[in-house]
Structure 1
Amino acid sequence: MIDYSQFPDRTILCIDMKSFYASVAAVDRGLDPLTCYIAVVGGTDRQGSVVLAASPALKRDYKIKTGSRLFEIPKDPKILVVNPQMNLFIKVSTEITKLFYRYVPPSAVHSYSVDESFLDVKGLEKIWGDARSIAKKIQSDIYNDFGLPCTIGIGPNMLMSKLALDLESKKAPDGIADWTYDDIPRKLWPVKPLSEMWGIGKRTERTLNNMGIFTVGQLANHDLKLLEKKFGIMGNQLYYHAWGVDLSKVGAPIIQGQISFGKSQILMRDYTDEKEIKAVVLEMCEEVAKRARTAKKAGRTISFALGYSKDELDGGFHRSRTVEKPTNVTMDIYNVCLQLMKENYRGQVVRSISISITKLVDDYEMQLDLFDQDGWKKRELGYVVDKIRNKYGSAALLRAVSYTPAGTALHRARLVGGHKG
């Protein structure tokens, strides 16, 4: 058994805006976000556009959800299909964050995403009441000020509040769930499939299933040394998360070992020309490298995936390669992707690309290599290009491939959050 007395016992709220994009779009049009049928899609002019958000009623009555496609939405006059308004969404998200400051200082707020935030309210009981009272006040303020519904999970740490949110509050009558360490065996351990638990993806779930682990309880009671042998540091985290243990502070990533920098893109059309595919791969490597440099990080493991068109018999491939020296240089990442592409790609029709770097280290110093004497120049050139783009815009400097019909960077530079403003 775990001795929870040795772990922090905070009071963390995890606040999730219900179907945020769809709800904001509904309120902007004078509609009730809980009862109207509205879908926000990547672009109303393309039948293959992805549904970015669907209102609760649309999910319930028509089974349309985030990730569905535009052509799957019934041709019903009651259903409103709209383009994203990213500038509006970001503005509302910013104002909601300011609302949190009525209750807690900025240092006690962590914006996990545009529609989800963590608040540490420990010690505020004498001012606002207990955790559930604070949650109700915030929930009421958000609805009164913005007309938007939200759900809230409460827990002794960030992980527990997130689990309370995902596994209970979204089904609770008042949209609020409060979990304590005592609730772990009754509420968390029965959870299956394992991918229902935040932090466990389908791939990890399959590996755990092959080990005979199908519920969170079985994971919590598995041999820790065997998990660490199989997953490394992630095995340790999986084990302790199954016990509800999380040492992260508000503002820090919940799963430290999963930090990576990546970019995934669903292409606007099918790509059949290998040169065109490589052009997009180069653009994406540039963006991944920039994200790593912005954080002053470099990575040793480069992952590359191609997803094929639905008409192909094979769905695609995902491969990784670890290099000797950590890098955040665009062409280093690109060359590894080309190697993986040469080894695995056989001319299929490509519709999605994904690139990421992991096994990160701080990039504050560089060991010189006698066999790559210009390595430091390539590294510094990346930082110089980043400064120019940060000052004058992402389209200020683009590679030549971005001006070809294959390129996507020029189009994406005009978007906000990957979508129309």
Structure 2
Amino acid sequence: MPKTILHVDMDAFFASVEQMDHPELKGQPVVVGSPPNERGVVAAASYEARKFGIHSAMPSSEAGRRCPHAIFRPVNMHRYAAISARVFKILERFTPLLEPVSIDEAFMDVTGAHALYGDGRAIAEKIRTAIHDEIGLTASVGVATNKFLAKLASDMNKPDGLTVMPSSPAEIRDFLAPLPVGRVWGVGKVTCGLLEKAGIATIGGLQNIPIDRLSAIVGQHSARHLQRLSWGEDARDIELEYEEKSISREHTFPTDCQKRDKLEHVLKDLVDDVGRRLREAGKYATIVHLKLRWQGFQTITRQKQLDSACSDDFRLRTAAQELFDVQKLIKPVRLIGFGVSGLTSMPTEQLSLFEAQTVQAERREKLSRAVDQIRLKFGRDSIGRAGGAKSEEV
């Protein structure tokens, strides 16, 4: 029996919450993020604002130029999280097989709920009605036999839409064939450019290309994965325990900065914050990332594979400093960021070939956790380096 998978996606979530809380904003172009006269980016845009080409991650200054009469609202994450919790409570009524993707979207396996609530379309309608009536917001829902198709379907009739994918393999392939190849999950700008250069502009082209030719374009592993998706095949199950795949922090400077000492101070603060979040999550990182954005929004990223997984501030700072030391400051810096990925639930032993190293690593981690507790009790600035600079999330 085929599964019934739903993808529930709240419509312009942050902006819609602002319009709900402030009725005078309904029908107006609302932008959530920094005001246009400050450094920062757009976190969300209402559908009215999107008509002017405004989208998330766009510089707020550009959003202001595109729509001078747009209404800018500051990010209110506490409020959005509270509304999100109410949305997920509604989703949990229909199935325990729920996979949060982000604060405003989730996958659901409702295969076992048909006897109680009807088929996929009926369940999707009930969910949309409950969210609208109980909270006052709209959601778009895709119904399909797997996660890829459900996600694709939820995007098709936004906002406040419901799309049910066909269920037979032949109908699915026919449905997908005329869509742009960029709609396939995992086909980003680079891969899309490679495929289009090879004459593959639609999903249909991806469906029919010989696998050896596709492998020559994107690599063997990616080729098989993308072609299966183009046929509408996706074997991934609902992940009941959502885990962060990476943790990162960024700081945008009020004025562009080219002083290495100031950049290093900010970077160390970012590293400490990422380390704290790692330890709170009980995770260890195996890869560290440095991000720099220059004037003109040119962005570079550098990464380093650690010898073993860790979460202590000393090793994270050392790795971050090594990445920063080899980076030439060709222009003033607008934004600096630090992140970790390759997260694991336990430290690896390969690094600690000698017992002394193991003991030292354990001591550093205990020290980092002790610092976390002091800062939690007495405030962030109660312990740390002299001259540390404050950071901010963007």
TM-score band (shorter)?
A: 0.7 to 0.9
What is the rounded CA distance, in whole Å, between the counterparts of 1:335 and 1:121 in structure 2? 47
Q: 1:47 matched to which residue of 2?
A: 38
Judge conservation of contact 1:190–1:215 (CA < 8 Å) in 2.
Answer: yes
Letter in 2 for 1:244: G
| Structure-2 change in CA distance of 1:32 and 1:274 (3 Å) | closer
Judge conservation of contact 1:301–1:320 (CA < 8 Å) in 2.
Answer: yes
Matches within 5 A, 1:215-254: 215-220=202-207, 221=209, 223=211, 227=215, 237-252=225-240
Stretch moving more, 289-298 or 143-152? 289-298
Q: 2:47 matched to which residue of 1?
A: 56
Number of residue pairs aligned between Structure 1 and Structure 2: 386
Q: 2:16 matched to which residue of 1?
A: 23
Letter in 1 for 2:53: K
What is the rounded CA distance, in whole Å, between the counterparts of 1:29 and 1:203 in structure 2? 40
Q: 2:2 matched to which residue of 1?
A: 9
2:266 is the counterpart of 1:280: yes
Judge conservation of contact 1:189–1:216 (CA < 8 Å) in 2.
Answer: yes
Aligned partner of residue 23 in structure 2, secondary structure:
coil
1:57-102 CA-to-partner distances (Å, cap 9, x unmatched) read 2212x32222333333259796432222222221111111122233
1:164-183 CA-to-partner distances (Å, cap 9, x unmatched) read 223x2327xx6111223444
| Structure-2 change in CA distance of 1:164 and 1:78 (3 Å) | same
1:30-71 CA-to-partner distances (Å, cap 9, x unmatched) read 2474x33222223x38433322222112212x3222233333
2:100 is the counterpart of 1:111: yes
| Structure-2 change in CA distance of 1:16 and 1:397 (3 Å) | farther
2:59 is the counterpart of 1:69: yes
Q: 2:174 matched to which residue of 1?
A: 186
Q: 2:286 matched to which residue of 1?
A: 300
2:144 is the counterpart of 1:155: yes
**Which 5+ residue runs of structure 2 have no aligned equivalent?**
none
Q: 1:263 matched to which residue of 2?
A: 248
What is the rounded CA distance, in whole Å, between the counterparts of 1:207 and 1:77 in structure 2? 37
| Structure-2 change in CA distance of 1:48 and 1:142 (3 Å) | same
Q: 1:375 matched to which residue of 2?
A: 361
Q: Which of 186, 194, 214 is residue 199 of structure 1 equivalent to?
A: 186
What is the rounded CA distance, in whole Å, between the counterparts of 1:263 and 1:395 in structure 2? 18
| Structure-2 change in CA distance of 1:277 and 1:136 (3 Å) | same
Q: 1:415 matched to which residue of 2?
A: none
| Structure-2 change in CA distance of 1:193 and 1:395 (3 Å) | farther
State the percentage of identical aligned residues. Answer: 23
How far off its partner does 1:339 sit? 2.5
Aligned partner of residue 357 in structure 2, secondary structure:
coil
Q: 1:321 matched to which residue of 2?
A: 304
What is the rounded CA distance, in whole Å, between the counterparts of 1:31 and 1:82 in structure 2? 13
**Which 5+ residue runs of structure 1 have no aligned equivalent?**
1-7, 413-417
| Structure-2 change in CA distance of 1:59 and 1:155 (3 Å) | same
Q: 1:399 matched to which residue of 2?
A: 384
Letter in 2 for 1:351: R
Q: Name the TM-score, length of structure 1 as normaliser.
A: 0.77
What is the rounded CA distance, in whole Å, between the counterparts of 1:75 and 1:316 in structure 2? 23
2:315 is the counterpart of 1:332: yes
Judge conservation of contact 1:41–1:82 (CA < 8 Å) in 2.
Answer: yes
What is the rounded CA distance, in whole Å, between the counterparts of 2:338 and 2:225 in structure 1? 24
Aligned partner of residue 55 in structure 2, secondary structure:
coil
What is the rounded CA distance, in whole Å, between the counterparts of 1:205 and 1:329 in structure 2? 39
Stretch moving more, 341-350 or 184-193? 184-193
What is the rounded CA distance, in whole Å, between the counterparts of 2:201 and 2:382 in structure 1? 50
How far off its partner does 1:305 sit? 2.4
Q: Which of 329, 332, 354 is residue 337 of structure 2 equivalent to?
A: 354
Aligned partner of residue 200 in structure 1, secondary structure:
coil
Matches within 5 A, 1:129-168: 129-166=118-155, 168=156
Judge conservation of contact 1:261–1:291 (CA < 8 Å) in 2.
Answer: no
- CA RMSD, aligned part only? 3.6
